[in-house]
Amino acid sequence: MPFTAEELRLDHACGPGRDGRWRGWITVSVDAEALRRLGLDPGRAGSVVPGGASPPGWWHAAGERYAVERG
């Protein structure tokens, strides 16, 4: 793994969703200097813009339907 334990931060949170079922999520944070060492610049806007073509419209619509259904 390109990062040491000191360069990573993992946060876990959980709570009930609108449907009453418990949900959990994890946030991963990486130290900026560790990203620079890999050639990434977290302060540069272009470093977080995905490359390549955008998925087709139907793909986005299906994702939105799925999100609404899962509520």
Domain boundaries, the chain: 1-45
What is the amino acid identity at position 69? E
pLDDT at res. 49: 57
pLDDT at res. 43: 73
pLDDT 10s digit of each residue in the chain, 71 long?
588 989 999 999 999 988 999 999 899 998 988 888 888 877 776 655 566 777 788 888 888 888 888 76
In 3D space, the residue among 33, 31, 34, 40 whose CA is nearest the CA of residue 10 turns out to be 31
Contact call for residues 7 and 31 (beta carbons, < 8 A) = yes
Angle (CA) 44-57-70 rounded to 5° is 90
pLDDT at res. 24: 92
